[in-house]
Structure 1
Amino acid sequence: MSTPARAWHATSALVVVVALVIQVPITAAATGGAFDTPAARVANLFTFFTILTNLLVALTGVALALAPRRRSTLLSVLRLDAVLGITVTGIVFHTLLADLADLRGAEAFADLLFHTVSPIVVVLGWLLFGPRGLIDRRAVLLSLLYPLLWLGFTLVRGAVIDWYPYPFVDVSRLGYPTVLLNSLGITALFLVLAAALLGVDRVLARRADARSARIGS
């Protein structure tokens, strides 16, 4: 992997780190919400799909920057989840959630990094630098475990504490039929994007191989 590719992946991780450094103290100091201690508020921050997905972006970005030739099923699935999850995060946020909160200052900047800058950097990085060949049908199927496990955890936890991180999974307000329908829609989006990434990855891999063959001939 080229130096620009490694730098790009490292930058994607840095975006997440900067956003977390800004957001965590803000969350800890917030008052008036459902959680009454700084520790509880910070712990709850890490139950949001956005935050967990950005952590996957940082983790896999660092892994690719440090060991770009590493290949494993775990890395393939985690990187696919990072790319898919951050794409879904950007789409859902800008279509459903962007107008729900009026954020200012540092919190608005962290929000911009999590929901806009990170998706753009990750998707562009994947298109430009790959790495190619990490996605196959098995990785696509395994990647579905992440959103399904998050959804299951969120619904069970929500039923226990009567709190949900997003309005479209708020069972107390919408009821289970609507929440499950919303969840199926987002899962379908996740699957369609995974299939699209698989197809695009194969096309780009063939082009890269053809280009390498021409250079070597």
Structure 2
Amino acid sequence: MNVTELSRRGRAAYWVVAALAWAGVASTIIISTLGGYAPPTYVEEGLFAGAAHGWSGAPQRLADCLSYFTELSNIIVALISTMLARRGSVGRWGRATHLCSLMMITVTAIVYATLIGPYEVLSGFALVTNPLQHIVVPAAFVGTAALAGPRGGITWGTLGRALLIPVAWVAYTLVRGAFTHQYPYGFVNVWRIGYAQVAINIVAILIGALLFMALFAGADWAIRQAGRTDTSRSEDA
């Protein structure tokens, strides 16, 4: 497995991404658990809602917060960015995690920009934490990956390993929802649309995830090829 090591600047850039991601994760978890966010004006039946006010509802608010795909994607970005900043390189599973985090945070940003953001009215703490987790961190992480790497080390096995986290999230969401009858998003809201439609939605999402990861793998290959071409030209000059 041939994965490039990061330069000093690349590691510094990942320290910045890690700081942004951890700040977003920590603040969102704390504010959610303490009930600091303004309640939504409308909640679709079957989606997260109904936690008791005060400390009695804190455990449910914490569990709900950690169950969102957005939060998971930001946590994965924070972890892999910290690892790359400290070590400068990754192994087989780290490469898969990096590819997975690229896909997850990109999906988070696109879904927010197209389906949530245009219809959402932010207030209070959400004016800071929402853009941080849906716009700033995705842009910083994808941009750093494009400019700094790591490069190489992507195989069919990498794609398979990279799907394990999203598949685990889907399984957890459905199992938890079977007991609580509440789900984080409408496309997995079994109570409202049923298991058949949810299964169709999940298959479509996993196919989309594979396409996103294939796109990132292709971009990685193109960048490496361009780098080799530039090196060859410099040696021939």
Scaled by the length of structure 2, what TM-score is found? 0.84
In structure 1, C-alpha distance between the alignment counterparts of 2:161 and 2:30, rounded to whole Å: 34
The one of 114, 127, 132 aligned to 1:95: 114
1:38 match = 58
- Give deviations 1:119-178, integer Å, cap 9, x for gaps: 111111111111101322210121112111111110111111101011111111111222
CA contact (8 A) 2:177 2:183 kept: yes
The 3-state SS of whatever aligns with 1:25 is: helix
In structure 1, C-alpha distance between the alignment counterparts of 2:28 and 2:166, rounded to whole Å: 23
Query: Identity of paired residues, percent?
Result: 30
In structure 2, C-alpha distance between the alignment counterparts of 1:74 and 1:195, rounded to whole Å: 17
- Give deviations 1:167-190, integer Å, cap 9, x for gaps: 111111111222222222211111
- Which blocks of at least 5 consecutive residues in structure 2 are unaligned? 1-5, 40-48
Structure possessing the higher radius of gyration over alpha carbons: 2
Larger relative contact order (CA 8 Å, sep ≥ 6): 2
In structure 1, C-alpha distance between the alignment counterparts of 2:121 and 2:193, rounded to whole Å: 23
1:147 match = 166
In structure 2, C-alpha distance between the alignment counterparts of 1:71 and 1:114, rounded to whole Å: 24
The 5 Å alignment of 1:55-204 reads: 55-68=75-88, 70-99=89-118, 101-204=120-223
Amino acid at match of 1:196: L
Task: Give the drift of 1:2.
Answer: 2.2
CA contact (8 A) 2:84 2:90 kept: no
Scaled by the length of structure 1, what TM-score is found? 0.91
Task: Determine if the alignment matches structure 1 residue 2 to structure 2 residue 7.
Answer: yes
In structure 1, C-alpha distance between the alignment counterparts of 2:118 and 2:191, rounded to whole Å: 21
Amino acid at match of 1:67: R
Comparing 35-44 with 191-200, greater Cα deviation is found at 35-44
> Aligned residue pairs: how many?
216
CA contact (8 A) 2:15 2:85 kept: yes
- Which blocks of at least 5 consecutive residues in structure 1 are unaligned? none
